[in-house]
Structure 1
Amino acid sequence: MFLSDTLLETIRERAAAYDRDNTFFTQDFEDLKEAGYFTAFVPREFGGAGLTLEEITREQMRLAGAAPATALAVNMHQVWLGVANTVYRTGDASMNFMFEDAVRGDVFAFGVSEAGNDLVLFGSDSEARGQDDGGYRFYGTKIFTSLSPGWTKLGTFGAETGPDGEQLNVWGFVGRDEGVTVKDDWDTMGMRASQSCTTVLDGAYAPVDRIVRRIPSGPSADPFIFGIFANFEILLASVYTGIAQRALDVAVATVKKRTSKASGSVYANDPAIRWRIADAAMKLDVLFPLIKSAAADVDNGVDRGPLWFPQLSNVKSRATEVALRTVEKAVRVSGGSSYFNRSELSRLYRDVLAGLFHPSDDESVHSAWANALLGPVE
Structure 2
Amino acid sequence: MSETPFDPTVLLSDDLLERFRERAAVHDRENTFPDDDLADLKAAGYLAILVPTELGGAGLGLAEASLLQQRLAGAAPATALAVNMHLVWAGVAKVLADRGIDSLRFVQEGAVTGEVFAFGISEAGNDLVLFGSDTDAAPRPDGTYAFTGTKIFTSLAPVWTQLGLHGLDTTSDDAPQMVYAFVPRSDAVVTRDDWDTLGMRGTQSRTTELHGATAPADRVVRRLAPGPNPDPIVFGIFSVFELLLASVYTGIARRALDLAVATAQRRTSKRTGTSYSQDPDIRWRIADMALAYDALPPQIASLCRAVDEVVPPDGRWFSYMSGVKHRAVTMAKAVVDDAVLVAGGSSYFASAELGRLYRDVLAGLFHPSDPESAHSTVATAWLGPLDT
From 108, 128, 132, the counterpart of 1:123: 132
User: Partner of 2:152 in structure 1?
Assistant: 143
Give yes or no for the alignment of 1:262 onto 2:265. no
User: Partner of 1:157 in structure 2?
Assistant: 166
Contact 1:178/1:205 (CA < 8 Å) preserved in 2?
Answer: no
Structure 2 Cα separation of the partners of residues 306 and 206 of structure 1: 34
Structure 2 Cα separation of the partners of residues 98 and 276 of structure 1: 45
User: Partner of 2:46 in structure 1?
Assistant: 37
Structure 2 Cα separation of the partners of residues 288 and 238 of structure 1: 8
Structure 1 Cα separation of the partners of residues 101 and 171 of structure 2: 24
Contact 2:139/2:172 (CA < 8 Å) preserved in 1?
Answer: no
Task: State the shift of 1:54 in Å.
Answer: 0.2
Q: What TM-score do the two structures reach when normalised by structure 2?
A: 0.96
Give yes or no for the alignment of 1:106 onto 2:97. no
Structure 1 Cα separation of the partners of residues 279 and 57 of structure 2: 50
Structure 2 Cα separation of the partners of residues 177 and 106 of structure 1: 15
Structure 1 stretch 355-364 or stretch 187-196: which is displaced more?
A: 355-364
User: Partner of 1:84 in structure 2?
Assistant: 93
User: Partner of 2:5 in structure 1?
Assistant: none
User: Partner of 1:172 in structure 2?
Assistant: 181
User: Partner of 2:385 in structure 1?
Assistant: 376
From 194, 199, 223, the counterpart of 1:185: 194
User: Partner of 1:47 in structure 2?
Assistant: 56
Task: State the shift of 1:163 in Å.
Answer: 4.2
Structure 1 stretch 5-14 or stretch 229-238: which is displaced more?
A: 5-14
Structure 2 Cα separation of the partners of residues 113 and 161 of structure 1: 19
Which letter does structure 1 place at the counterpart of 2:239?
A
Flag structure 1 segments of 5+ consecutive residues without an equivalent.
none
Structure 1 Cα separation of the partners of residues 115 and 143 of structure 2: 23
Contact 2:138/2:171 (CA < 8 Å) preserved in 1?
Answer: no
Give yes or no for the alignment of 1:305 onto 2:314. yes
Structure 2 Cα separation of the partners of residues 292 and 225 of structure 1: 21
Which letter does structure 2 place at the counterpart of 1:264?
G
Tell me the secondary structure at the aligned position of residue 199 of structure 1.
Answer: strand
**CA displacement 1:268-299 (0-9 Å, x = unmatched):** 11000000001100110000110000000000
User: Partner of 1:316 in structure 2?
Assistant: 325
Flag structure 2 segments of 5+ consecutive residues without an equivalent.
1-7
Q: What TM-score do the two structures reach when normalised by structure 1?
A: 0.98
Contact 1:247/1:345 (CA < 8 Å) preserved in 2?
Answer: yes
User: Partner of 2:285 in structure 1?
Assistant: 276
Sequence identity percentage: 59
Structure 2 Cα separation of the partners of residues 370 and 130 of structure 1: 38
Task: State the shift of 1:133 in Å.
Answer: 1.2
From 234, 248, 266, the counterpart of 2:257: 248
Structure 1 Cα separation of the partners of residues 14 and 343 of structure 2: 25
Tell me the secondary structure at the aligned position of residue 316 of structure 2.
Answer: helix
Contact 1:162/1:168 (CA < 8 Å) preserved in 2?
Answer: no
Contact 1:82/1:231 (CA < 8 Å) preserved in 2?
Answer: yes
Structure 2 Cα separation of the partners of residues 212 and 166 of structure 1: 17
User: Partner of 2:4 in structure 1?
Assistant: none
Task: State the shift of 1:364 in Å.
Answer: 1.2
Tell me the secondary structure at the aligned position of residue 223 of structure 2.
Answer: strand
Contact 2:252/2:361 (CA < 8 Å) preserved in 1?
Answer: yes
User: Partner of 1:22 in structure 2?
Assistant: 31
User: Partner of 2:295 in structure 1?
Assistant: 286
Correspondences of 1:325-336 after superposition (within 5 Å): 325-336=334-345
Which letter does structure 1 place at the counterpart of 2:39?
E
Task: State the shift of 1:166 in Å.
Answer: 3.6
Which letter does structure 1 place at the counterpart of 2:359?
R
